[in-house]
Structure formats: structure tokens, C-alpha cells
């Protein structure tokens, strides 16, 4: 039986050329695998046909939108995952899902090797290869763009020589990756970090500076899962899609940042993630109401580490699995509703309610009905500050002795 290579296929120039190039250079058959994670744009059936026209012996298109939302975006939401406190892991979240489908396809089609179109400068090469190694250690990996210095000019020449059915004349000034959780834009004039992004960069969000009426939304959660919007039941995917539309129309979720890549360089990235930012904002607010103080404080440390692990391609690591269990435990009482105003590029919580709330009006109020015994506070303050007071007294004594 002829050996096979499973290729992570996007339908673009590099992976389309990669089908024929891998077959010619290695003598193996290529199976193209495209995964729908809500990236929109081109019809995936057309992408499947293009893969076959470019020489793939088989082309697989997996509709993984619900799987992505429920098994990847939802854990990120519950972890309030923001790399460097800002980036909601738009690209990083989709890679382990794609890896899972690649490994499954390799097993099904009897392939010994998996191929991807990543460069040597980015994070995705790590996410793909470390993930593949975790799920199927025996699989080999090849990366033509990285390992064989496959430039765009070489790819265009290859495509033209073989009359491949792809457009090699148009070239976006940007490198774009998108899915239902958000959209990432880099390269082109954005590589000069003094240049501000222009409106042409954006597709998921409207200009937040343009005047428009505000949009009020109520999001209902059950144990950390968004289950309704304005009282209408929704799936996780539907929640993200609706808030992409509504928060995006208000310019919510635009990010312009210089981030620390895993490979050691800094990279300027422009993101737009309206649904992700709106949901994380609402989820954080409900946690403020329902999660006990010390648990919430420790969870913030876990959230940062969780985000770093996913960004660094360690979705399938033992530490990530252990942190998942912790995050799941914290969601037991995160049920209730959050009302937000979407306007001017911001998602602002204006109301929150929960049957599991830890907020006690009678303890919090300064008005009639105050149940807080303020006479207990004096002794508490004295005991709480006693270690600092003792240490300060010691420092005074040592300074006096040294004079």
C-alpha cells in the first residue's frame, strides 16, 4: 500500500502547492484535511474540490464549529483566558482541534506523516507539532514552508507551471487567521509598530467612533456556560455568533498589541474578538458575584497560567489537564444573569443577579437595615495589622541601636 501524508489544508496558495510538491518530492499520496471552525469566507465544499484538483487523493472537510465552541472556546471562557491580559487566544484555541482531526485522519487513512504550512517564525508550528506528538508520538511531521525555504515566489511559480486552480495574482497586504472566536491580522504595514491600523484591517467590528444607539443585552449562564441571550435559549456556538454580530456592530473587541511569541520574538498583532470579549466580560462579572474571595484570587493565577499553556501549544499537557479540573470546580455556582451595555467599543456590565450570589444587601448597605456589626471591625483591624506593626517596631529599634 502506498504511504500517505495528511496535510492540514486551508485552500490557500501554500497548502495547495504543498499537495503536489509533497507528492513529487516524497512519492507518497496526500490526503487534504480542512476543518471548519467558523472561519467563514470561502465555501468549504469549494475548498474540498480545489484540494482534489491540486492532486490530493482524498479531501476531508470536517464541520467542527459546535465542537470548537463547546470543547475549546467554552473552556477558554470559563478560564477567562486572556494571554498577556488582553488576547483571547483566537488562533491558539483552534490549533489543538485541528491537530485532533489531523491525527484522526492519519489513523483512518493509514498515513505515517502529517504536514502543515507553518513558517519557522510563528507559534503555530509549535502548536501543531507538539500537539501531534502528544496524541500520536509515532507520526512524523513535515513543514515545507519552514523546512525547505518555500517562499511565496516559489509557490507562485510552482502553481503557474502546473496550472493549479488557485488565484496567484491577488495578495492581501495582511496575513489573516480567523474563526468564530475572533480574527487575527498581522504583517504588511502593521509591522511598523508606529503605524496605526486603518479601517480596512477590520471585518468583524464596526468603527466604534461612529455614533449609533447602544445595545443592551442580558446573558444567562448555568455553571459557567452561556445558555440564553435576552431570555432566548442558545448553544455555545450561537451565543458566540450572536455576540459577534451585536458586539461587533458596536466596535467591541478590537485589540492592537505587541505580544511575546513563544519563539522569542515580539510581534505586532491586531485582533478583533467581539463575541469573545463580551462573553468573557460578562462571565468575569458573574464570577465576581458568585465565587468566594480566596478562590477567585487563586483562580486569577490559574487563568494566567492556563492562557500561557494554550498560547504555547501545550493544550494536551498534564498541567493543562489538571488546571482544567480546577477551573471546572470553580464554575459550580457561576449561574445567573448579567446585563451589559454594548456601545462605543466597550461591553459594560450594568446589572447582575444570581440565586447563588454571595452578595448580601444587608451586609453591604450603609442605610437602614445594616446587619454588619461594625463594633467587630476595630479588633479585626488591630489583629490584621499586628505582624506589620511588630516588624515596623523592630526596624525602629535596630535603627536606634545603630545610631
Binding site per annotation, positions for L-aspartate? 119, 123-124
Backbone angles phi, psi at 259, to 5 degrees: -115, 160
Annotated binding residues: 8-16, 87, 117, 119, 123-124, 127, 175, 259, 271
Q: Which of 4, 50, 124, 183 is catalytic?
A: 124
Can you say which residues are annotated as belonging to the binding site for ATP? 8-16, 117
Q: How far apart are CA 100 and CA 98, in angstroms?
A: 5
Reply yes or no on whether 373 is catalytic. no
Nearest Cα residue to 105 out of 237, 16, 9 = 9
Catalytic residue among 14, 246, 307, 312: 14
Binding residue ranges for L-citrulline: 87, 123, 127, 175, 259, 271
Residue 14 annotated to the active site: yes
**Which of 66, 146, 175, 215 is an active site residue?**
175
Tell me the longest C-alpha to C-alpha distance in the chain: 89
Catalytic, out of 65, 95, 268, 352:
95
CA dist 132 to 31, 112, 288, 316, Å? 16, 12, 37, 9
Q: How far is CA 161 from CA 9, 20, 158, in A?
A: 21, 12, 5
Question: 380 is written with which cell numbers?
Answer: 479585626
Using the structure block, give the residue that is written with the C-alpha cell 516559489. 154
Cα dihedral 33, 38, 39, 40 sign:
positive
Residues 6+ apart with CB under 8 A from 209: 251, 344, 345
Catalytic site residue 175? yes
- Show which residues are catalytic: 14, 95, 124, 175
Amino acid at each position: 500500500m502506498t504511504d500517505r501524508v495528511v496535510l492540514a489544508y486551508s485552500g490557500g496558495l501554500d497548502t495547495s502547492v504543498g499537495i503536489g510538491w509533497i507528492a513529487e518530492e516524497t512519492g507518497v499520496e496526500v490526503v487534504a484535511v480542512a476543518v471548519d471552525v467558523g472561519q467563514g469566507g470561502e465555501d468549504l465544499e469549494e475548498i474540498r474540490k480545489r484540494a482534489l484538483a491540486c492532486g490530493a487523493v482524498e479531501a476531508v472537510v470536517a464541520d467542527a464549529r459546535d465542537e470548537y465552541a463547546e470543547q475549546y472556546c467554552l473552556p477558554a471562557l470559563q478560564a477567562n483566558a486572556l494571554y498577556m491580559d488582553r488576547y483571547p487566544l483566537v488562533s491558539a484555541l483552534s490549533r489543538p482541534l485541528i491537530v485532533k482531526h489531523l491525527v484522526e485522519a492519519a489513523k483512518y487513512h493509514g498515513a505515517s506523516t502529517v504536514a502543515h504550512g507553518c513558517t519557522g517564525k510563528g507559534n503555530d508550528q509549535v502548536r501543531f507539532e507538539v500537539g501531534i506528538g502528544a496524541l500520536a508520538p509515532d507520526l512524523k511531521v513535515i513543514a515545507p514552508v519552514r523546512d525547505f525555504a518555500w517562499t511565496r515566489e516559489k509557490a507562485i511559480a510552482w502553481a503557474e507551471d502546473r496550472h493549479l486552480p488557485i488565484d496567484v495574482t491577488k495578495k492581501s497586504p495582511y496575513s489573516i487567521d480567523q474563526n468564530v472566536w475572533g480574527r487575527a491580522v498581522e504583517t504588511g504595514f502593521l509591522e511598523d509598530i508606529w503605524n496605526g491600523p486603518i479601517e480596512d484591517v477590520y471585518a468583524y467590528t464596526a468603527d466604534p467612533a461612529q455614533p449609533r444607539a447602544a445595545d443592551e443585552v442580558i446573558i444567562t449562564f448555568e455553571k459557567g456556560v452561556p445558555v440564553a441571550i435576552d431570555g432566548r435559549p442558545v448553544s455555545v456556538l450561537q451565543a458566540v455568533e450572536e455576540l459577534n454580530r451585536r458586539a461587533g456592530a458596536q466596535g467591541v473587541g478590537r485589540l492592537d498589541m505587541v505580544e511575546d511569541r513563544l519563539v522569542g520574538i515580539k510581534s505586532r498583532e491586531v485582533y478583533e474578538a467581539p463575541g469573545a470579549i463580551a462573553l468573557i466580560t460578562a462571565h468575569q462579572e458573574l464570577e465576581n458575584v458568585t465565587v468566594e474571595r480566596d478562590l477567585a484570587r487563586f483562580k486569577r493565577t490559574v487563568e494566567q497560567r492556563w492562557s500561557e499553556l494554550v498560547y504555547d501549544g501545550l493544550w494536551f499537557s498534564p498541567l493543562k489537564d489538571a488546571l482544567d479540573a480546577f477551573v471546572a470546580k470553580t464554575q459550580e455556582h457561576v449561574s445567573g444573569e448579567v446585563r451589559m451595555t454594548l456601545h462605543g467599543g466597550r461591553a459594560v456590565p450594568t446589572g447582575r443577579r444570581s440565586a447563588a450570589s454571595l452578595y448580601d444587601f444587608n451586609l453591604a448597605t450603609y442605610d437602614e437595615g445594616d446587619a454588619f456589626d461594625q463594633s467587630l471591625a476595630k479588633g479585626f483591624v488591630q489583629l490584621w495589622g499586628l505582624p506589620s506593626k511588630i516588624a515596623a517596631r523592630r526596624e525602629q529599634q535596630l535603627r536606634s541601636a545603630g545610631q
